[in-house]
Amino acid sequence: MGITSELHSDGVCVVTCDYPPVNALPVQGWFDLAAALDDAGADRSTHVVVLRAEGKGFNAGVDIKEMQTTDGFDALVGANKGCFAAFRAVYECPVPVIAAVHGFCLGGGVGLVGNADVVVASEDAYFGVPEVKQGALGAATHLARLVPQHLMRTLYFTARTISAADLVAHGSVYEVVPRDDLDAAALRLAGEIAEKDTRVIRAAKEALNGIDPVDVNKSYRFEQGFTMELNLLGVSDELRDTFAGTKKAEQHDAGTEKSKR
């Protein structure tokens, strides 16, 4: 359980996330993922990274229950910094990162996938940013790399999801395959990249990032500022309590009922 890395003989490094039951990463998990990606990119033996997950789905975002059962704002600030570190590590990895997505890819998962270089998905994969339901903002930067602007806004405001098959039509998912074939498809594509001269591919990754029209690091950090505002106003805490089913939510509901009498 946790984050593991395995470097294959052909230069493909497979980084796997495994946080049962739904791969909602705790604060330390985001930092561990960032470290694994940084280490993979720093190793000149690595030609390409495949980012995958075990379990029911690729990623369910941050661990909201951890956030709501931790006193103070340490978990909130930690999650913000951890997500930023992990998203940055995907984007700035010196070699291409292929995201192999199955099942759900939500919230922070979209942050990872949106910053990846290539996305391969299984037929059951779907993507979404449900942050508005939990009183947070973020990953619009990355969702905008998967769909056109107006569709991004529709998905963002409604918290709806979009299937991998639909993303193929937008050109952001390269291939959709049966669930059992996902790892093989990702490794096949990774092998095709890995056989190229890694010096050229590393230069190409840096060059492509350099001509990107949006600075994803600054853009995402800007979004996080509004999340902090909502937390200071108490909106986020109230909505997260309801989502997590914590005692705070029960107390809030009881107080609401009392005020109606």
Q: What is the 3-state secondary structure (H, E, C) of 153-173?
A: HHHHHHCCEEEHHHHHHHCCC
Domain count, the chain: 1
Q: Which H or E element spans position 120?
A: strand 118-122
For residue 238, the one-letter residue type is E
pLDDT digits (tens, 9 = 90+) for 36-90: 999 999 999 999 999 999 999 999 999 988 988 888 889 989 999 999 999 999 9
Taking the CB of residue 68, how many other CB atoms lie within 10 A of it? Answer: 19
Taking the CB of residue 205, how many other CB atoms lie within 10 A of it? Answer: 20
pLDDT digits (tens, 9 = 90+) for 176-192: 999 999 999 999 999 99
Is there a contact between 103 and 58 (Cβ–Cβ < 8 Å)? Answer: yes
For residue 152, the one-letter residue type is M
**Predicted structure pTM score:** 0.91
Phi-psi region of 70 (alpha: psi -120 to 50; beta: other; left: phi over 0): beta
pLDDT tens over the chain, length 261 residues: 899 999 999 999 999 999 999 999 999 999 999 999 999 999 999 999 999 999 999 999 999 889 888 888 899 899 999 999 999 999 999 999 999 999 999 999 999 999 999 999 999 999 999 999 988 899 999 999 999 999 999 999 999 999 999 999 999 999 999 999 999 999 999 999 999 999 999 999 999 999 999 999 999 999 999 998 998 899 988 998 888 875 444 334 434 433 333
Q: Which residue segment(s) compose the domain that 192 sits in?
A: 2-257
* Nearest-angstrom CA–CA distance, 58 and 19: 10
Query: What is the token pair recorded at 40?
Result: 């993979």
Strands 97-101 and 104-106 come out as: unpaired
* Nearest-angstrom CA–CA distance, 49 and 47: 7
Q: What is the 3-state secondary structure (H, E, C) of 200-242?
A: HHHHHHHHHHHCCCCCHHHHHHHHHHHHHHHHHCCHHHHHHHH
For residue 115, the one-letter residue type is N
Is there a contact between 68 and 248 (Cβ–Cβ < 8 Å)? Answer: yes
Q: What is the CATH number of the domain that holds 123?
A: 3.90.226.10
